[in-house]
């Protein structure tokens, strides 16, 4: 083997080694950034913990205060209940006395009536006597003056007796009626009090049960406080591990940087021996690249975004790394920011244009690495009502690179169109992208429609911010799995189609 051939062989090995080292360096840098973000999240959790707890037994204290309040209300209710029972007993006693009095009044009235009948007869006889005396006085003449006086007085006595008898009869009748009315009022009041006492008795049972439940809550709160302390201790331990890993990855980065420098020097020597003029490959800070790309993406600077990727490619960053760690990471972050707000169509349009321009730069390079084999047909599209094309376009590119025949149905795809495409292509997998929660609900209806059309064997792979934010949503919409990015979509698609063993449940 000639020296030229040896150098060429050595050059390829070193270039491959440089590419691997550079990729590892960039991954370490990305992990270091993620560790920093994780540390920030952990600190935020600790701040939330302290802002809500304020002391070590916060939940127990709240439960005990609630128990005390319930105890106070229960005692107040019991006091009021005892007062009402005593009042009811007094009313009952008073009512009994009035009933007895009413009976006595009726008896007195009966006797008075008998007496009044006698007085009535006396009055009548007295009146007759007065008339007779008056007649006798007229008959005798001058000597009958005394009879006349007697007749007059007897007549007055008769009238007085008759009037007094009538007044006493009326008064006795009124007294009897009033006593009966009072008896009825007292009976009604007593009945009302009985209902009130009965209701208070029922409330007493409810409050007593509530009090017992509050005791259980206090005991459970003690356990919860202890659990929260354990969680906080675990967060502290994880925080320490995160800091340790940040230091470890920083040290690994330093080692990789030294190896890259050594590899670069050896390559420069070989290039010199072979007479090759090459631009030196610089170690690129992907954290800064992501931050710059993300800010310019948010500011809708299409030209700057494309230029940043061009510069990264010229400095040796692999297109797959740029697609996954810069483009898709930006799309995921933007998606999380957009999930809770109404996004203008103009913003969606511009974001799509930026991704399209970036992919137009990267696709020709990525296609050189694509496989020619056909792994099967896949249908992909945005859920009905969803107009966010960013993530879907990247996933389409990666699936096609992997060797899948991908039919892209585009934005806001009706479920009927998905089903028709599955039948047309005899596809066994449907990929649905959804950036907002209410469009994610369409996937459940798609599953139903597929089943109704005899396509139960067709799998559904989902992706988008709602699923990244809440992975349990995958099961909620009856999907089979989710993928966070294009690289993961290839792996999960192969697993769902049985091309590789499925090692993870999504």
Examine the pLDDT at 262 and tell me if it is beyond 60: yes
The single residue listed with the structure tokens 């730069």 is 361
| Structure token digits, residue 343 | 């996004």
Tens digit of each residue's pLDDT (9 = 90 or more) over 38-64:
777 778 777 777 766 655 566 666 667
pLDDT at position 506 is 43
Q: What is the pLDDT of residues 72-100, one digit of tens each?
A: 766 776 777 677 677 767 767 776 776 77
Dist CA 32 CA 291 (whole Å) = 14
- Is pLDDT of 316 > 70? yes
Which residues make beta-bridge pairs with 482? Answer: 462
Task: State the pTM of this model.
Answer: 0.43
Residue 376 in this model has a pLDDT that exceeds 80: yes
Please say whether the beta carbons of 383 and 415 come within 8 A.
Answer: no
Whether 361 has a pLDDT exceeding 70, the answer reads yes
SS3 annotation, 77-117: HHHHHHHHHHHHHHHHHHHHHHHHHHHHHHHHHHHHHHHHH
Lowest-confidence segment of 99-108, 296-305, 431-440 by average pLDDT: 99-108
Check residue 418 and give its pLDDT. Answer: 96
């Amino acid at each position: 083997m000639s020296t030229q051939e040896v150098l060429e062989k050595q050059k390829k090995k070193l270039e491959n080694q440089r590419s691997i080292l550079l990729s590892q360096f960039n991954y370490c840098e990305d992990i270091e950034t993620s560790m920093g973000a994780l540390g920030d999240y952990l600190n935020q959790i600790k701040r939330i913990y302290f802002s809500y707890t304020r002391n070590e037994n916060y939940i127990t204290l709240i439960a005990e205060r609630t128990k005390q309040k319930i105890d106070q209300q229960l005692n107040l209710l019991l006091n009021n209940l005892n007062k009402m029972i005593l009042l009811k007993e007094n009313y009952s006693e008073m009512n009994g006395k009035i009933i007895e009095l009413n009976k006595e009044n009726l008896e007195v009235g009966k006797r008075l009536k008998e007496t009044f009948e006698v007085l009535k007869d006396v009055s009548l006889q007295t009146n007759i006597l007065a008339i007779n005396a008056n007649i006798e006085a007229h008959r005798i003449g001058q000597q009958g003056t005394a009879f006349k006086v007697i007749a007059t007085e007897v007549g007055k006595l008769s009238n007085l007796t008759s009037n007094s008898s009538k007044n006493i009869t009326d008064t006795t009748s009124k007294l009897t009626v009033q006593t009966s009315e009072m008896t009825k009022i007292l009976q009604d009041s007593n009945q009302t009090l009985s209902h009130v006492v009965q209701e208070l008795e029922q409330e007493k049972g409810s409050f007593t049960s509530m009090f017992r439940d509050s005791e259980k809550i206090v005991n459970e709160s003690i356990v919860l406080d202890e659990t929260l302390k354990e969680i906080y201790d675990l967060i502290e331990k994880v925080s320490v591990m995160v800091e340790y890993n940040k230091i470890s990855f920083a040290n690994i980065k330093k080692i990789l940087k030294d190896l890259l420098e050594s590899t670069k020097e050896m390559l420069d020597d070989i290039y010199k021996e072979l007479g090759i003029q090459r631009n030196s490959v610089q170690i690129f800070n992907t954290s800064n690249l992501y931050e710059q790309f993300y800010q310019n993406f948010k500011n809708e600077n299409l030209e700057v975004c494309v230029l940043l990727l061009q510069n990264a490619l010229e400095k040796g960053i692999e297109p797959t790394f740029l697609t996954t760690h810069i483009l898709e990471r930006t799309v995921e972050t933007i998606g999380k920011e957009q999930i809770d707000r109404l996004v203008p169509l103009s913003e969606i349009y511009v974001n799509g244009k930026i991704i399209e321009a970036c992919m137009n730069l990267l696709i020709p390079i990525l296609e050189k690495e694509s496989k020619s084999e056909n792994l099967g047909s896949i249908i992909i599209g945005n859920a009905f009502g969803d107009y966010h094309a960013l993530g879907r376009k990247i996933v389409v590119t990666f699936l096609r690179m992997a060797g899948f025949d991908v039919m892209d149905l585009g934005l806001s795809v009706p479920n009927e169109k998905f089903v028709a495409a599955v039948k047309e292509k005899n596809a066994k997998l449907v990929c649905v992208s959804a950036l907002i929660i209410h469009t994610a609900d369409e996937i459940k209806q798609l599953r139903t429609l597929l089943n109704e059309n005899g396509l139960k064997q067709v799998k559904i792979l989902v992706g988008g911010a709602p699923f990244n934010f809440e992975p349990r949503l995958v099961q909620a919409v009856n999907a089979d799995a989710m993928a966070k990015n294009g690289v993961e979509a290839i792996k999960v698609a192969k697993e769902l189609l049985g091309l590789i063993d499925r090692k993870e449940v999504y």
